[in-house]
Structure 1
Amino acid sequence: MNHFLTFVLILTTVIWTLPAQQKGTFGKLSNTEKNMITYEKDPSAHAVVLYEWGNNYFKVVDRRILLIKEYHTKIKILDEKGFAYGTVEIPLYHKGTLTEKVTALKAVTHNGDTQYNVLPSEIFENDHSERWKVKAFTFPKMQKGSILEYSYTITTPYDFNFNGWDFQGSIPKIYSEFNAKIPGNWVYNRSLRGNLELDINDAHIQKGCFTIEGYPKAADCEVLKYTMKDIPAFKEEKEFMLSAENYRSQLSFELSQYNRLDGTTNKYTKSWKDVDREFRSDKDIGRQLTKKGFFERHVPEKLLIEGDELTRAKNIFEFVQQHYAWNKQYSSYGKARVKEAFDAGKGNAWEINMSLINLLNAANIPTNLMLLSTRKRGLPTKVHPVMSNFNYVVAKTEIDGKSYLLDATDKYMPFGFLPFRALNHYGRVMDFKNDSYWYDIRPQTKNRHQVRAQIKFDPEENKAVGVFDAVSTGYNAINMHKTLNEKSEEEYLDSVEEEISGNFAITSYELVQQRTDKQGVSQRFKFEIEDVLNGDMAYLNPFFIQFFNRNPFQLDERNYPIDFGYPRNYRYQIIFTIPDGYAIQEFPENKSIALGDTLATLKFYSTGNTSQISFSFELALNSSYFNEKDYQALKSLFKEAVDIQKNSLVVLKKKTVQP
């Protein structure tokens, strides 16, 4: 499952021969920068980073070793939409009395040869969360053509905040450079993510570069320099993608080991065997999964003993779904108490799903905890344990040789389904009796939205009457259940009519209970359409219900994968009864398109005779994941699907009455 990581490179000590750009002088602008009107390599850009420079190093201040992070950048505003990049926020971490500090902050708006400084009174500091605050300011006198320049230094006591560099952002960059000098006491893992290559990749050793008063021997340093030029903006199509953190070109550092001056060592990067051992005894994980006795005393006995394994598992799953109200918090490692959550009848995702695990184990159904990251976060690294990668847990069990992943936070979720937020490719199963292991998340495949309709025409009243059945299965059914429960029937039917628009009106509605359960929803609608036959020619679009009103793929180029979360199937079938006195003049041509052998298919067929016309449309996305090389073909496929739905016309002609 590593195929979705576009490009991950462990940086080497290869030295590229391209010349380096020196640190820019604050306030100095070139004529080229001043006169730029548009960015030739991205004419649609609203702003462009002209220059970006960073430098991280360690320094002894008042007998304390601190990390120093310097930053300097210049941004050209190309139009009014670029003003959004004129507000700057600098995050600062704090814990107890130790806090990060900003010094030497300078910010200037350059309008030609005139400069407007950001004044100290225009710089604000606000609390963002329990551990983070933000220093923020907005550039004054912004206009089209302004150059926004700022620099600052962060001094931090937290060596783990030596955390990397974002080469790629939401606007293009002409030049970006990151420098660092790391004494040998600190050892960091580092990687470059994304599909862009470095222009300069330089790492070398500088002897005796770091000294501390009282210690006779100076430490050697690793000196780093990484640069990129002409960096395109990372443009998101948020509807069908994982977190941009998986694909945006960025350099990341993770503290692996600190060698103290007294000869002792702190290891931060551990093996999974180390993590497994720690989790077994941890009060927030391992010990929270040993509460079988508590749950046995607090649930009906029959819940744990009646029926076969699968029946017991489904009953327990439904019990947990109904007992708990999810507080919408994912929580994280270190904050879970299952007994308190059970008594309160509410909790975060960790507490609810660890309660589920306890109950399944109490029913003699062996179940383990699986750590994962939600879709809006980056995928966990498989190289070594990074516990901050994980923000979610689900249950993993096996019954009669079949594996199930379970999440009881969502009352609409069927047994064996994971919420959409958790469909993030893989997780780590914490098997405390054996070793933990990676496990792939395979989404349910039967996710269909199907419409079957029949229409008859009444020429005398100039209207059409009909019926259509809408059937949703899998994740489509889950979403439909939520919609039906969140709205009254009147509100729901109003929303259906608004989506169809025109002269369409629903005359009756039925939720077909005998064909509706958690994995399927069946609905029947009767309807009328006014003013459909006017004059000698009638032009009718058979798609009065459309699955897509626009192509979700709009980029000229996309260099990261398309991820739908789960396979999807859309079907539309309709039969027109030709009204008396009319004949078929024209109807749409058939189309059949395939991406790969069966990766995605689009089929549209229409047939007609003197009394009826039938149409059949199917868009099948048989995979949840498409490589970026498939983007143009997928974009074309959706373009055709939208075009078929919007522009397929049936032309009926009134028959000439013979004298």
Structure 2
Amino acid sequence: MKITDSFANKLPNSTPPKPCWSRKPNLMKTKLTIVFVLLFALSFAQKKYEIQKVNAADFTKTKCDFEPSAEAEYLYKIGDVKFEYDKNDGGFKIVTKVKGRIKIYQKDAYRFANIEVPYYQSSNKREKISFDNCYTYNLVNGQVEKTKLKSEGIFDTKENKFWGQKKAVMPNVKEGSIIEYEYTIESPFLFNLPDWYFQAEIPVVYSEFKTTIPEYFTFSHNQRGFLPLEIETTTRQSSVHFSDKNRSDEGYVTKTTYDEYDVKFVENVSKYGISNVRSLKEEKYMGNFRNYICSISHELMMTKFPNSTVKTYSTDWDAVARNIHESDDFGGELSKTGYFEEQLKPLLASAQKPEEKVLLICEFVKANMKWNGRKTYWCDEGVKSAFKQKTGNAAEINLMLTSMLRFAGLDANPVLVSTRSHGISLFPATAAFDFVVSSVKIGENLVLLDATDPYSSPGILPARDLNWRGLLVDKNGKSRDVSMLPNDAANSNMTLVYKVNPMGNIEGKMRRQLSAHKALEHRVKSVGKKDEAYLEELENDFRKFELSDYKRENEKECHKDFIESCAFKKDGAVEIIGDRLYFSPLLFFAEAENPFKMETRDYPVDFVYPTRGKYLVMVDLPEGYAVESLPTGTSLATEESLGTFKYSIAANGPKLQIMVNYEINQALVPTQSYPMLRDFYQKMVDKQNEKVVLKKI
């Protein structure tokens, strides 16, 4: 039958699959199972949710029943995904219909009246999005007033070569409004179904997601979060009707006949539902909070069409790596070297040690290439064109870097990464990644590099890359896990030398020396800014102390420590009560408050990287005053050496000397250690803010 070939040919095999349309993460399996708890499912005979018309009684509700402080709530969110056969194109397409209703309680929630739907497009295909039945309801003089979304309220914007967004701005939104919307996505890209998020920034009264998938497609079902979903699975019969036109010559007459037939197949139907879902709020040191939202994603694993062999896709990580490596836009670009050889040869002539070659090549790429901001592991224009234009996406720059390292005789390979904004890669999927960095083996150590950031250096990647685990792809397309979490601490060494006068004023000098990721962060924050603008930011960070004589060292020598120094002063910085002076000797370097306020926490604490700090403070006391009391010295240590804190202070005549050392030895702290960490931080913050008391003599 003709339908067999068209089914099989519809799926792309030589072109790279698109990312998930919603740009949300799939997840990679990790050994830190204590951190993530996969959703568990409850099988049930699910009752059909009936959508009722909006009526006047709906406006009597002034708050969410199970989360009264919420600024808004989803009354329902329902998604329905089906495969439809397009006879014109000769293949399947994915049609997703979404219906939602939102109740607005506060003005701060007006942003939820903007319905944003991203779409993907390739060189010759694109997803189509249409809005329908979109209304804002308000109660006016006891009657329900219905305002329809008009075409001028729908906006289509192109974000880059591959991504665009359609946005519906709902009309006449007020406190108490009810918003109702529907949209449809038609997609020719069959590798991913839309991700579905049952949880949101606001509570959800009811959420449902239904998939209907023909038997020819096998998808993985990847669930995330901490909430139980109710699941119903069934099968049903379906068919596609065909009418083939046949013409034959019978003498002087051309005869036309039609062959009518149905192709029957089984569809697998899955329905996921959940009710009364509390909102998920972002907390300090949470990383990407979408990692913890109750959600489900799908990735194509296998196809089996009539009279065709089985074709596998993302069945495991080796298959993912192999499919990506075999693409012309990845492995094909990685093999090219002719465009840079003449420039690189003289640069490497004087380099003997591997470390020298790595640093020279990394700095060469950073100096000659500018990242265009596009996160991807596919080349758009290709490495040769990017090198000529001196600009490129993440793949073009870092695959170019990898190719140059190999040309220099080094054991270098690309590493697929899911950046922090993309989420954690836990399940095998091509959409699990959105970035690629480089790696090089030096002795027994694997050194990671990212030349898209001008302030990165070998082994020191920007924070966006430091996201659990990556997937190294070698020359043969084989893969292995690579930890993206730094083991070495970023150091901060701070020195304060100042004097206090009887009027309660403070004046002195500060020096700060930062290494590794701390240095990278401060380079990004400060280099290139005018001193006046940066000093204004520092003054806000330093509790409004006035700063002057600002200097910095090694601002562009990224493999060295970043050093900055300045003078500071502030009138009235010391509290005066009667004949006594009170001040915290760490001044603006003391933590103002404990960032961990919740009694319990369902998510890991993500510090991004380990840290180590040292403070040396020298204080000249005012003439005519003596020390009445000092904070006591202390030494704290958590279980399992998660963190340490030491504080010592001593008076020597008219001078004070304070030394503080602290360590946070893990980038990622599991949930069960949160109470211990919270208590440790509270004690540390309390000690840093204890005051010296001086008495007039």
Find the aligned partners of 1:23 and 1:641 in 2 and give their Cα distance.
52
Q: Does 1:22 align with 2:63?
A: no
The residue number in structure 2 matching 1:486 is 528
Alignment of 1:456-475 (within 5 A): 456-457=499-500, 459=502, 464-475=506-517
SS in 2 for 1:212: strand
Asked if the contact 1:477/1:518 (under 8 Å) is kept, the reply is no
The residue number in structure 2 matching 1:89 is 116
SS in 2 for 1:8: coil
Find the aligned partners of 2:200 and 2:424 in 1 and give their Cα distance.
19
Candidates 47, 56, 62, aligned match of 2:81:
56
Alignment of 1:527-538 (within 5 A): 527-530=568-571, 536-538=579-581
The alignment's TM-score, normalised by the length of structure 2, stands at 0.82
Q: 1:394 to 1:67 in 2, by over 3 A?
A: closer
Alignment of 1:357-368 (within 5 A): 357-368=402-413
Structure 1 residue 561 displacement after superposition: 1.9
Candidates 397, 410, 422, aligned match of 1:377:
422
Find the aligned partners of 2:261 and 2:599 in 1 and give their Cα distance.
59
Q: What is the identity percentage for the equivalent residue pairs of Structure 1 and Structure 2?
A: 27
Structure 1 residue 270 displacement after superposition: 5.3
The residue number in structure 2 matching 1:44 is 69
Find the aligned partners of 2:338 and 2:182 in 1 and give their Cα distance.
59
Q: Does 1:476 align with 2:505?
A: no
Count how many residue pairs are aligned between Structure 1 and Structure 2. Answer: 641
The residue number in structure 2 matching 1:203 is 233
Residues 220-266 of structure 1: per-residue CA shift (max 9 Å, x gap): 222222111221112123x6333334221111122333443565655
Letter in 1 for 2:111: A
Q: Does 1:539 align with 2:582?
A: yes
Structure 1 residue 196 displacement after superposition: 1.0
The residue number in structure 2 matching 1:224 is 270
Report 1 or 2 for greater relative contact order, CA contacts < 8 Å, sequence distance ≥ 6: 2
Structure 1 residue 542 displacement after superposition: 1.3
The residue number in structure 1 matching 2:168 is 137
Find the aligned partners of 2:641 and 2:522 in 1 and give their Cα distance.
27
Q: 1:48 to 1:526 in 2, by over 3 A?
A: closer
The residue number in structure 2 matching 1:651 is 693
SS in 2 for 1:285: helix
Letter in 2 for 1:230: N
Unpaired runs of 5+ residues, structure 1, are none
Q: 1:82 to 1:604 in 2, by over 3 A?
A: same
Q: Does 1:396 align with 2:433?
A: no
Find the aligned partners of 1:297 and 1:123 in 2 and give their Cα distance.
55
SS in 1 for 2:362: helix
Residues 172-210 of structure 1: per-residue CA shift (max 9 Å, x gap): 112212233333223221121111111x2221333x344
Find the aligned partners of 2:194 and 2:554 in 1 and give their Cα distance.
55
Structure 1 residue 625 displacement after superposition: 0.4
The residue number in structure 2 matching 1:601 is 644
Deviates more, 1:224-233 or 1:121-130: 121-130
Over the aligned positions, Cα root-mean-square deviation in angstroms equals: 3.4
Asked if the contact 1:375/1:423 (under 8 Å) is kept, the reply is yes
Letter in 1 for 2:435: Y
Structure 1 residue 585 displacement after superposition: 2.4
Find the aligned partners of 2:51 and 2:180 in 1 and give their Cα distance.
11
Letter in 2 for 1:615: I
Candidates 594, 602, 606, aligned match of 1:559:
602
The residue number in structure 1 matching 2:107 is 80
Structure 1 residue 403 displacement after superposition: 1.7
Alignment of 1:561-576 (within 5 A): 561-576=604-619
The residue number in structure 1 matching 2:27 is none
Q: 1:217 to 1:624 in 2, by over 3 A?
A: same
Deviates more, 1:596-605 or 1:150-159: 150-159
Find the aligned partners of 1:528 and 1:282 in 2 and give their Cα distance.
60
Q: 1:73 to 1:474 in 2, by over 3 A?
A: same
Structure 1 residue 533 displacement after superposition: 8.8
Residues 364-410 of structure 1: per-residue CA shift (max 9 Å, x gap): 112111111211112234x43x2232222222111222221122233
Unpaired runs of 5+ residues, structure 2, are 1-29, 243-259
Candidates 208, 218, 223, aligned match of 1:177:
208
Alignment of 1:491-506 (within 5 A): 491-493=533-535, 495-501=537-543, 504=546, 506=548
Asked if the contact 2:507/2:570 (under 8 Å) is kept, the reply is yes
Find the aligned partners of 1:517 and 1:251 in 2 and give their Cα distance.
41
Q: 1:270 to 1:10 in 2, by over 3 A?
A: farther
Structure 1 residue 498 displacement after superposition: 4.7
Asked if the contact 1:577/1:612 (under 8 Å) is kept, the reply is yes
SS in 1 for 2:385: helix
Letter in 2 for 1:521: F
Asked if the contact 2:377/2:435 (under 8 Å) is kept, the reply is yes
The residue number in structure 2 matching 1:35 is 60
Structure 1 residue 471 displacement after superposition: 1.9
Find the aligned partners of 1:145 and 1:465 in 2 and give their Cα distance.
54
Q: 1:585 to 1:369 in 2, by over 3 A?
A: same
Asked if the contact 1:103/1:153 (under 8 Å) is kept, the reply is yes
Structure 1 residue 505 displacement after superposition: 5.1
Structure 1 residue 23 displacement after superposition: 2.9
Q: 1:349 to 1:537 in 2, by over 3 A?
A: same
Deviates more, 1:530-539 or 1:286-295: 530-539
SS in 2 for 1:301: helix
Deviates more, 1:616-625 or 1:582-591: 582-591
Asked if the contact 1:100/1:157 (under 8 Å) is kept, the reply is no
Q: 1:159 to 1:117 in 2, by over 3 A?
A: farther
Find the aligned partners of 2:353 and 2:394 in 1 and give their Cα distance.
27
Letter in 2 for 1:71: V
Letter in 2 for 1:539: Y
Find the aligned partners of 2:263 and 2:71 in 1 and give their Cα distance.
52
Find the aligned partners of 1:250 and 1:16 in 2 and give their Cα distance.
19
Letter in 2 for 1:621: I
Structure 1 residue 318 displacement after superposition: 2.3
Q: 1:37 to 1:641 in 2, by over 3 A?
A: farther
Q: Does 1:117 align with 2:186?
A: no
The residue number in structure 2 matching 1:407 is 450
Alignment of 1:254-269 (within 5 A): 254-260=299-305, 263=308, 267-269=312-314
Find the aligned partners of 1:503 and 1:223 in 2 and give their Cα distance.
64
Find the aligned partners of 1:649 and 1:589 in 2 and give their Cα distance.
10
Q: Does 1:518 align with 2:548?
A: no
Structure 1 residue 500 displacement after superposition: 3.1
The residue number in structure 2 matching 1:578 is 621
Letter in 2 for 1:178: F
SS in 1 for 2:527: helix
Find the aligned partners of 2:344 and 2:86 in 1 and give their Cα distance.
59
Q: Does 1:248 align with 2:293?
A: yes
Residues 44-86 of structure 1: per-residue CA shift (max 9 Å, x gap): 2101122233333344576775544333332222222222222
Find the aligned partners of 1:557 and 1:250 in 2 and give their Cα distance.
22
Find the aligned partners of 1:281 and 1:57 in 2 and give their Cα distance.
30
Structure 1 residue 552 displacement after superposition: 3.9
Asked if the contact 1:58/1:67 (under 8 Å) is kept, the reply is yes
Structure 1 residue 157 displacement after superposition: 4.7
SS in 2 for 1:3: coil
Letter in 1 for 2:346: E
Deviates more, 1:266-275 or 1:50-59: 266-275
Asked if the contact 2:380/2:393 (under 8 Å) is kept, the reply is no
Q: 1:650 to 1:293 in 2, by over 3 A?
A: same
Find the aligned partners of 2:84 and 2:565 in 1 and give their Cα distance.
72
Find the aligned partners of 1:311 and 1:616 in 2 and give their Cα distance.
37
The residue number in structure 2 matching 1:622 is 665
Find the aligned partners of 1:652 and 1:472 in 2 and give their Cα distance.
33
Asked if the contact 1:352/1:409 (under 8 Å) is kept, the reply is yes
